[in-house]
Amino acid sequence: MSFIGKSVAALAVAIALVFIVNAVGDIYNPTRTLDEPVYRAGLDTGDEGGATEVAAAEEEPEADLFTLINQAEASAGEKAFRQCASCHTYEIGGPNRVGPNLGNVIGADIAAHEGFNYSDALAGLEGEWTYEKMDAWLANPSDFAPGNKMTFAGVKDIEDRAAIIKFLMAHTENPPAVPEPQEAAATEEAPAAEGEAEAAATEEAPAAEEQQAAEAAPAADGAAGGFTAMVAAADPAAGQKVFNQCRACHTYEIGGPNRVGPNLGNIVGADIAAHEGFRYSDALAGMDGQWTYENLNAWLENPKDFAPGNKMTFAGLKSEEDRAAVVAFMMEHTENPPPLDAASPGPAAPGVASETLQEAVPEPEGAGERPAPEEGAVAE
């Protein structure tokens, strides 16, 4: 028999064996079909229960970073850190590898470990490895510091990131205290009690309240004028450097994409929580008004105080000069920002002054409760 004939015969035998094996398999292990799908979540079966469960899952608020860090186990973080061990050591005083040693990294200056040659992308960043920055870096190094040399794609699970941070805290001699997460109950009860107190004051002494409001208005105008003067004098290039710590969650180019937080192009003077395509938290979505210079200043200083209950974990910029520089930078990426020499109307004062500038949050008529603002390094 020729070679070609032998090949054809072998192929025919192989095909026949396949059919025979399949037939025997069906006899001893017949194919079964399920009466209903194994995964039923979200199916429209006429029962509202499934839809309710899905809706409840969608409405469940995102976990707070600080809460997760406090709850995390360092041993779990050690396991998650194994994916980093090929490039980093974690023991205090350990050697550098492809990446720097990470002992004592929590709270340390960014790109400051002795003896390691950092990329320009990281070397150009200012500030310390705060918990928020470490979380943003671990989530997506390329977004946090575009152009850096690390090829690691990031840790997508926030619980894994919190555990890694807890592990690194265990290898930092004096880690900063983890900020306390804001209690939801406190944010709900305090405005209500405040509203009741305001109502009582209104009934008992309306004249005194009007006088107090009249005296407070010039003081607020003076404070606002001071900040806008700082914005006018600020260097947008300095603001861009400060904004680098916001880039893990925000883009600033007009028409740029949303990330974890909304795009901030054309933000100055825009309506609060109005950027198209971004799903804001109820805290910001319930606010009226615009991102005036005063509101941006208050938001950047302390997002949690400005909008209690919002999801952003960024603690804020404590330096007023840094805030003014960031706003000046955002003005460059706003097509028609409000003029700095004109008083920018802020939201109606709630009637109680606050060092944290919560008076910038508008108060619904007759409610006595403040609506909550939204998240984002500059404004979500």
Specify the CATH number for the domain of residue 148: 1.10.760.10
Tell me the residue length of the chain: 380
Q: Phi and psi (nearest 5°) for 61?
A: -65, 150
Does residue 101 sit in the same domain as residue 144?
yes
Does residue 162 sit in the same domain as residue 190?
no
Does residue 355 sit in the same domain as residue 251?
yes
Dist. CA 227–CA 285, nearest whole Å: 26
Does residue 204 sit in the same domain as residue 163?
no
- Domain ends where: 170, 199, 222? 170
For residue 33, the model assigns a pLDDT of 44
- Domain ends where: 120, 138, 170? 170
Does residue 203 sit in the same domain as residue 113?
no
Number of Cβ within a 10 Å radius of residue 89: 18
Does residue 211 sit in the same domain as residue 338?
yes
- 190, part of any domain: yes
- 370, part of any domain: no
Does residue 195 sit in the same domain as residue 326?
yes
- 14, part of any domain: no
Q: Which domain holds residue 146?
A: 65-170
Dist. CA 39–CA 47, nearest whole Å: 15
Torsion (CA) 10, 13, 15, 18 in degrees, nearest 10: -130
**pTM score of the predicted model:** 0.40
| Residue whose C-alpha is closest to residue 171's, from 103, 121, 236, 87 | 103
Q: Phi and psi (nearest 5°) for 243?
A: -65, -20
Dist. CA 100–CA 341, nearest whole Å: 48
164, 71 Cβ separation under 8 angstroms: no
For residue 168, the model assigns a pLDDT of 96
- 341, part of any domain: yes
For residue 246, the model assigns a pLDDT of 86
| Residue whose C-alpha is closest to residue 224's, from 284, 288, 298 | 298
Q: Which residue shows structure tokens 């960024």?
A: 314
Does residue 191 sit in the same domain as residue 280?
yes
232, 239 Cβ separation under 8 angstroms: no
For residue 336, the model assigns a pLDDT of 93
Does residue 144 sit in the same domain as residue 221?
no
For residue 315, the model assigns a pLDDT of 82
Q: Phi and psi (nearest 5°) for 128?
A: -115, 165
* CB contact burial 90-116 (16+ within 10 A = b; e otherwise): beeeeebeebbbbbbbbbeebbebeee
Does residue 201 sit in the same domain as residue 126?
no
Does residue 144 sit in the same domain as residue 230?
no
Dist. CA 69–CA 159, nearest whole Å: 8
**3 state SS of 159:** helix
- For the chain, what is the total number of helices (H) and then of strands (E)? 15, 0
Amino acid at 239: G
Give the sign of the dihedral formed by CA 257, CA 259, CA 262, CA 266.
negative
pLDDT along the chain (380 residues), means of 10: 73 77 59 43 44 46 81 93 92 93 95 92 90 94 89 91 95 90 47 48 48 46 72 94 86 90 94 92 90 95 90 85 96 94 46 35 42 44
For residue 225, the model assigns a pLDDT of 65
CA atoms within 13 A of residue 99's CA, in its CB half-sphere: 19
For residue 310, the model assigns a pLDDT of 86
- 284, part of any domain: yes
Dist. CA 229–CA 213, nearest whole Å: 24
**3 state SS of 128:** strand
Does residue 224 sit in the same domain as residue 278?
yes
| Residue whose C-alpha is closest to residue 273's, from 289, 253, 249 | 289
- 90, part of any domain: yes
DSSP run (H or E) holding 211:
helix 206-233
Dist. CA 76–CA 167, nearest whole Å: 8
- 55, part of any domain: no
- 343, part of any domain: yes
- Domain ends where: 125, 144, 170? 170
Dist. CA 157–CA 76, nearest whole Å: 13
Q: Report how many domains make up the chain.
A: 2
